[in-house]
Amino acid sequence: MKKDFLAVNDFSAKEIQEVLQMALAFKMGRLKTKPLAGKTAALIFHKPSLRTRVSFEVGITRLGGSSIYLRQEEIDLGKRESIADVARVLSRYVGLIVIRTYSQADVEELARRASCPVINALTDLSHPCQILGDLLTVYEKFKKKEKFSIAYLGDGNNITNSWLELATQVPIDLRIGTSDSTWPDRNLLKAARKAGKSQVKLTSNPAEAVSGVEVVYTDVWASMGQKHLADEKRRLLADFQVNAALLRKAAPGAIVLHCLPAKRGEEITDEVMDGPQSAVFDQAENRLWIQMGIISHLVQSSKKRK
């Protein structure tokens, strides 16, 4: 049976550490395997992307494979033909499918029907590849793999949800600072608390969220597909901007992360994003290494399960 990566907790805590190890080995030049040799990957993107698309394309090439980029206009997934039929046909040509779209259910349907591994490259609900790359960045910056504290400030979106999923597997002191109207997914919040692995706190007080914290994280206030809500989100989230004054309340050596793209001047100021505590471009680079780790792990596990 093949293995997919549709949500962070599709990987056990042990698998997450294995993927991180592999990503780091690729980064250090210690691992040079080519598990995609002779294979092609289909990259289905229904939303724009810089980091995810390019890191997947470059990563796939480095792993010995090639990729085909398919935009919504090309295959019109679920409209021109059913998701199941697209999955069955693509599985006859390619060894991996990477998909960025709106609905998590569509990605799950595609994965159920495909006979090759499927990777979620972002949905409205989650962005699992991003969060594993972020974990690599945190471990690298602090040179340890122990519990860390992180404050996520802003919209309770796919990034927040994937942090909640990570909190079920990896011990984190996770604080979410958001308005009462912009909470993350309630089921994922409940599950993260129930898992008992991490401390998960939600507050509408930004200063309380960042107090003494080691990592400060933010993301755009209006995600892709929600741009019509931009004015409302700006009004709701103005107090959650990551600026120099707020950052001073974090731990002295705190780092700042942002998955990017950023709306400078909204959720983050230039001063913070370009300041000495910002790790956002190292974080962006790590997308490449983590994609290589994720793909290698899926190809290996799918082989073992045959």
Active site residues: 100, 127, 130, 219, 259, 287
170 forms part of the interface with ligand CP (CB under 6 A): no
**Residue numbers 213-252 binding ligand NVA by CB under 6 A:** 219-220, 223-224
| DSSP character at residue 7 | S
The interface partner of residue 50, options being ligand CP, ligand NVA, none and the CB cut-off 5 to 8 Å by kind, is ligand CP
Identity of residue 281 = F
The interface partner of residue 219, options being ligand CP, ligand NVA, none and the CB cut-off 5 to 8 Å by kind, is ligand NVA
The interface partner of residue 173, options being ligand CP, ligand NVA, none and the CB cut-off 5 to 8 Å by kind, is none
Query: Of the two residues 93 and 281, which places its CB atom closer to ligand CP in the complex?
Result: 281
The interface partner of residue 170, options being ligand CP, ligand NVA, none and the CB cut-off 5 to 8 Å by kind, is none
Site string for ligand CP, 178-217 (x = CB under 6 A): ----------------------------------------
Strands 255-258 and 215-218, by their bridges, are parallel
CB contact at 8 A, 41 and 276: no
How many CB atoms lie under 10 A from the CB of residue 216?
A: 29
Strands 118-120 and 172-177, by their bridges, are unpaired
142, with CB counted inside 10 A (0-12, 13-18, 19+), is: middle
257 forms part of the interface with ligand NVA (CB under 6 A): no
126 forms part of the interface with ligand NVA (CB under 6 A): no
158 forms part of the interface with ligand NVA (CB under 6 A): yes
How many CB atoms lie under 10 A from the CB of residue 42?
A: 23
Task: Work out how close the CB of 224 gets to ligand NVA at its nearest, in angstroms, rounded to a whole number.
Answer: 4
| Partner residues linked to 98 by β-bridges | 43, 119
**Per rule CB under 6 A, count of chain residues that contact ligand NVA:** 9
130 forms part of the interface with ligand CP (CB under 6 A): yes
259 forms part of the interface with ligand NVA (CB under 6 A): yes
Q: Which of 303, 296, 279, 291 is nearest to 148 (CA)?
A: 279
Q: Which of 300, 222, 283, 246 is nearest to 51 (CA)?
A: 283
Residues 136, 153, 216, 259: which binds ligand CP (CB under 6 A)?
A: 259
Task: Work out how close the CB of 212 gets to ligand NVA at its nearest, in angstroms, rounded to a whole number.
Answer: 26
105 forms part of the interface with ligand CP (CB under 6 A): no
Cis peptide, bond prior to residue 206, ω within 30 of zero: no
- Rounded Cα distance between 12 and 302, Å, is 15
Identify the residue whose tokens are 């602090």: 142
- The binding site for ligand NVA (CB under 6 A) comprises 122, 157-159, 219-220, 223-224, 259
